[in-house]
């Protein structure tokens, strides 16, 4: 199969592209190498992908329609997986424009592209953040999710809605996944695990928000990629409608699926897990919850399991251990 994946220099796009290349597929990787975090990490990820003959990188911005069209010309994709985005909850308070540009305009350009190339399946990344501060747990895809707490969440929810309209108007089969705190090797330096490990190994204090009582449903990257790869094969259609829990639209080949573990952990226990994996205690700075943070995330993985037979299984203890091993091997000491 021929894939166009956006965000291949990013954490999740890199892992998905690598898995598909290893499985013998062709991947055109589109990424703008944005400076949200250290570009050297993005370049290293692309350099690994470039070892595979099936990989063609295209450096360009989502907002630039012409470079997206160029990528489609080069790769002639059957399937588009749209992962590039301005990610991060807290940064959306500092630089809201980046979210509007990448996640609204950029995602609309992807929808136009999917229409032009006649994509057989379009898959796009959404987020657990769109459930806002909901206290109905676990979070099911059929829950109302229209009270976003940040512009990040609002742009992701908007992208889901725009995608539904294109799926209806142009019959583009579309799956939107909602990811839950993804972590693992080659992860993002702005996320908690990377920052905690980096600080503990370099004897710097770690910042713990909300007295450590917030909880997150952590999803290990290999579990996430397995879920995505299986969902690629489940093209939304009436034949695969699941009774009661499905989000398959009545008006379009469009579905929303949580990809998360259903095993939430409190932040303080997460810190202890990181300390145990490193073998050293952290210097802890306790801080209040930050603006835009939500108290919990907790995925109901039932729809994912009903559609694919898969349920994320890697424990946080095991996943954190693998991350620490990677960090020690690959990240130069400062
Ligand atoms: N990592 C998580 O825990 C998590 C959770 C929920 C949702 N998501 C979503 O998953 C997707 C991938 O996230 P990630 O963790 O790999 O993030 P990432 O920041 O590592 O990767 C995103 C990539 O997109 C690129 N990019 C950003 N804006 C662009 C633009 N306008 N044009 C071209 N390229 C652009 C960046 O250069 C980067 O390489 C995103 O859509 C994100 O919102 C991630």
Instruction: State how far the alpha carbon of 308 is from the alpha carbons of 65, 118, 262, 303, in Å.
Output: 34, 25, 16, 8
Q: Which residues form the pocket of ligand 1, taking CB atoms under 6 Å from any ligand atom? A: 7, 9-13, 31-34, 36, 42, 61-63, 83-87, 102, 106, 125, 127, 179, 181-182, 188
The string of pLDDT tens digits covering residues 178-204 is 999 999 999 999 999 999 999 999 999
Identify whether 212 is part of a domain. no
Three-state DSSP class for 207?
A: strand
Please indicate, yes or no, if residue 195 is contained in any of the structural domains.
no
**Looking at the 3D structure of the chain, how many domains does it have?**
1
Residue 248 has a pLDDT of: 98
Q: Which domain holds residue 149?
A: 2-184+217-261+298-313
Asked whether residue 282 is domain-assigned, the answer is no
Does residue 225 fall inside a structural domain? yes
Mean local confidence (pLDDT), 316-322: 98
152 is annotated as an active-site residue: yes
pLDDT (0 to 100) of residue 262: 82
Indicate which atom in ligand 1 lies nearest the CA of residue 64: 32
Is residue 61 assigned to a domain? yes
Q: At 334, is the pLDDT very low, low, confident or very high (cuts 50, 70, 90)?
A: low
Q: Ligand 1 pocket: which of 4, 9, 28, 34 to mutate (most atoms <8 Å of CB)?
A: 34
The residue contributing the CA closest to ligand 1 atom 2 is 182
Residue-wise pLDDT tens digits, 19-63: 999 999 999 999 999 999 999 999 999 999 999 999 999 999 999
CB atoms within 10 A of CB 8: 29
Which pTM does this prediction carry? 0.98
pLDDT of 332 reads 73
> Which conformational region is residue 232 in: left (phi greater than 0), alpha (psi within -120 to 50 degrees), or beta?
alpha
| Å from CA of 273 to ligand 1 middle | 26
Q: Looking at residue 22, which CATH number applies to its domain? A: 3.40.50.720
Q: How confident is the prediction for the chain on average, in pLDDT?
A: 97
How far is 296 from 56, CA to CA, in rounded Å? 39
């Amino acid at each position: 199969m021929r894939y166009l994946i956006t965000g291949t220099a990013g954490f999740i796009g890199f892992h998905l592209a690598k898995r598909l290349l290893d499985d013998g597929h062709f991947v055109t990787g589109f990424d703008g190498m944005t400076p949200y975090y250290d570009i050297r990490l993005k370049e290293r990820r692309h350099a690994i992908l470039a070892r595979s003959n099936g990989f063609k990188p295209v450096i360009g911005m989502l907002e630039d329609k012409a470079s997206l069209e160029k990528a489609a010309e080069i790769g002639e994709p059957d399937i588009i997986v749209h992962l590039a985005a301005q990610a991060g909850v807290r940064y959306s308070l500092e630089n809201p424009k980046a979210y509007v540009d990448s996640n609204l305009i950029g995602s609309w350009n992807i929808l136009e592209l999917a229409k032009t190339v006649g994509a057989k399946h379009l898959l796009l990344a959404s987020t657990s953040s769109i459930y806002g501060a909901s206290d109905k747990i676990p979070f099911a895809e059929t829950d109302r999710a229209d009270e976003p707490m940040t512009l990040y969440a609002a742009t992701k929810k908007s992208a889901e809605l725009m995608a539904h309209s294109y799926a209806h108007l142009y019959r583009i089969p579309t799956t939107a996944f909602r990811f839950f705190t993804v972590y693992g090797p080659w992860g993002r330096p702005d996320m908690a695990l990377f920052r905690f490990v980096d600080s503990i190994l370099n004897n710097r204090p770690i910042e713990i928000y909300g007295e450590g009582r917030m909880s997150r449903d952590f999803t290990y990257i290999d579990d996430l990629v397995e879920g995505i790869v299986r969902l690629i094969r489940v093209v939304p259609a009436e034949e695969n409608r699941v009774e009661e829990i499905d989000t398959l639209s009545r008006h379009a080949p469009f579905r929303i699926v949580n990809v998360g573990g259903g095993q939430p952990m409190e932040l303080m226990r997460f810190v202890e897990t990181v300390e145990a994996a490193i073998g050293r205690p952290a210097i802890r700075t306790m801080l209040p919850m930050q603006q835009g943070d939500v108290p919990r995330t907790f995925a109901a993985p039932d729809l994912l399991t009903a559609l694919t037979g898969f349920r994320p299984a890697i424990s946080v203890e095991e996943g954190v251990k693998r991350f620490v091993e990677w960090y020690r091997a690959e990240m130069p000491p400062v």
